[in-house]
Amino acid sequence: MTARHEADPLSHRSVLLDLAVELVVVRPDGRYIDGTFGRGGHSRLMLESLSGDGRLLGIDKDPEAIAVARALAEGDSRFSWFHGSFAEIDQAATVAGWDRVDGVLLDLGVSSPQLDDPERGFSFLRDGPLDMRMNPQQSPSAAEWLATAEEREIADVIWRYGEERFSRRIARQVVARRQEAPIQTTRELAALVSDAVPKKDKHKHPATRTFQAIRMHINRELEDLEQGLSAAAQRLSPGGRLVVISFHSLEDRLVKRFMRDLARGPKIPKGIPVTADQERSAFRLASKAIRASDEEVRDNVRARSAVMRVLERVYND
Ligand SMILES: C[S@@+](CC[C@H](N)C(=O)[O-])C[C@H]1O[C@@H](n2cnc3c(N)ncnc32)[C@H](O)[C@@H]1O
């Protein structure tokens, strides 16, 4: 971990910082999007790699991240910000007046400041309102959703996004409990899940999977990722790169398949005559999957599950 992060223990520790920036910034005078600005660890390093003509647009759903981005923009005219989802890359690029971009970086998931602030309700380790929204201006919060969703939907979400084998029991408990009183705090939900799970994993809090699943559902994380990947790839100039860092196997699977399919090129049914041009792919995988070094994992436990993948546009479609 660099001194940059040691200075403020609450600030987000940027995983695979230097390499990600090296891979995404293909030319110093290009146009770039950091789709997950966070506290700007990657953005600041990208700006250091850009010349006076380079431009960077930072996107985040979280108003607290955007407050940091706004301050950065005041001090650096090469940087601008967009409050919204990276699923809206098209809209953000249009607002910036950009047709094509030279690189897009996505460092997925929640940031350390989000996890560490009990008021945001992301963590079962800290008691606070059961919120979990990256953008608190959007509804519903986790508490609102748990108060109204059907038992079956709750079970499905916990199973699909948390791969929690006791999802049905947990959903049943949620519905039983809310008939007495609404579930409003992280501690209440963590205790309920802990009671509902009959077999506990030694190395994991019993609520880990459930919290992760509800967070992914509330923030539409996989839906946004799917849309964001397509929009980003379409916007890339030849030579431009999409760099994605995932922390969750469901995210990484989606990223891996998306990049692999684009790099393979169009699926043309057998027997249809095509020219070499029609068969070739407009994209290539610029690298194999990259994981954090042992040193980075020692310094930052979050890096252990990080996987970085890089797609490059070779030609225009
Ligand atoms: C892991 S942190 C990124 C940290 C950042 N790279 C840094 O160096 O500070 C993820 C950030 O992305 C934001 N985020 C997650 N999904 C998003 C989405 N679909 N659209 C926009 N922002 C998103 C979160 O609010 C959070 O601030």
Q: How far is CA 52 from CA 22, 49, 59, 70, in A?
A: 18, 10, 21, 19
Residue 172: pLDDT over 60: yes
Residue 9: pLDDT over 60: no
Closest CA to 142 of 122, 168, 117: 122
CA of 41 to the centre of ligand 1 (A): 11
Q: Under a CB-based contact definition with an 8 Å cutoff, are residues 233 and 285 in contact?
A: no
Establish whether residue 55 lines the binding site of ligand 1, counting it when its CB lies within 6 angstroms of any ligand atom: no
CA of 43 to the centre of ligand 1 (A): 11
pLDDT computed for residue 296 by the predictor: 83
Establish whether residue 215 lines the binding site of ligand 1, counting it when its CB lies within 6 angstroms of any ligand atom: no
List of residues 6+ apart from 310 with CB closer than 8 A: 23, 241, 242, 243, 244, 285, 286, 287, 290
CA of 107 to the centre of ligand 1 (A): 6
Establish whether residue 302 lines the binding site of ligand 1, counting it when its CB lies within 6 angstroms of any ligand atom: no
pLDDT single digits (tens) 181-234:
999 999 999 999 999 998 878 888 999 999 999 999 999 999 999 999 999 999
pLDDT computed for residue 271 by the predictor: 73
pLDDT computed for residue 295 by the predictor: 81
pLDDT computed for residue 10 by the predictor: 35
Residue 274: pLDDT over 80: no
Instruction: Say if strands 236-246 and 55-60 run parallel, antiparallel, or are unpaired.
Output: unpaired
Instruction: Say if strands 307-313 and 283-285 run parallel, antiparallel, or are unpaired.
Output: antiparallel
What's the pLDDT band for 277 if we cut at 50, 70, 90? low
Average pLDDT, the chain: 92
Work out the angle between the directed axes of helices 89-96 and 221-235 (0-180°, nearest 10).
40
pLDDT computed for residue 267 by the predictor: 74
CA of 114 to the centre of ligand 1 (A): 10
CA of 47 to the centre of ligand 1 (A): 18
pLDDT computed for residue 76 by the predictor: 98
pLDDT computed for residue 119 by the predictor: 95
pLDDT computed for residue 141 by the predictor: 98
pLDDT computed for residue 1 by the predictor: 34
Q: Is the peptide bond before 129 cis (omega within 30 degrees of 0)?
A: no
pLDDT single digits (tens) 105-156:
999 999 999 999 999 999 999 999 999 999 999 989 999 999 999 999 999 9
DSSP 236-251: EEEEEEEEEEE-SHHH
pLDDT computed for residue 204 by the predictor: 87
pLDDT computed for residue 290 by the predictor: 93
Torsion sign (Cα): 195, 198, 204, 207: negative
Compute the average pLDDT of residues 91-118: 96
Atom index in ligand 1 nearest the CA of residue 39 equals 9
Atom index in ligand 1 nearest the CA of residue 11 equals 9
What's the pLDDT band for 300 if we cut at 50, 70, 90? confident
Establish whether residue 251 lines the binding site of ligand 1, counting it when its CB lies within 6 angstroms of any ligand atom: no
Q: Among the listed ranges 16-20, 72-76, 98-102, which one has the minimum average pLDDT value? A: 16-20
What's the pLDDT band for 5 if we cut at 50, 70, 90? very low
For residues 183 and 195, give the distance between their C-alpha atoms in angstroms, rounded to a whole number.
14
Establish whether residue 12 lines the binding site of ligand 1, counting it when its CB lies within 6 angstroms of any ligand atom: yes
Which fold does the domain 3-113+221-313 belong to in CATH? Rossmann fold (3.40.50)
Q: Among the listed ranges 13-17, 33-37, 80-84, 296-300, which one has the minimum average pLDDT value? A: 13-17
Phi and psi at 291, nearest 5°, equal: -115, 160
| Pocket residue to mutate for ligand 1, from 111, 224, 254, most atoms within 8 A of Cβ | 111
Q: Can you give the residue ranges of every domain in the chain?
A: 3-113+221-313, 136-218
Establish whether residue 232 lines the binding site of ligand 1, counting it when its CB lies within 6 angstroms of any ligand atom: no
CA of 85 to the centre of ligand 1 (A): 9
pLDDT computed for residue 3 by the predictor: 39
| Pocket residue to mutate for ligand 1, from 44, 60, 85, most atoms within 8 A of Cβ | 60
**Whose CA is closest to atom 15 on ligand 1?**
109
Which fold does the domain 136-218 belong to in CATH? DNA polymerase; domain 1 (1.10.150)
Compute the average pLDDT of residues 79-108: 97
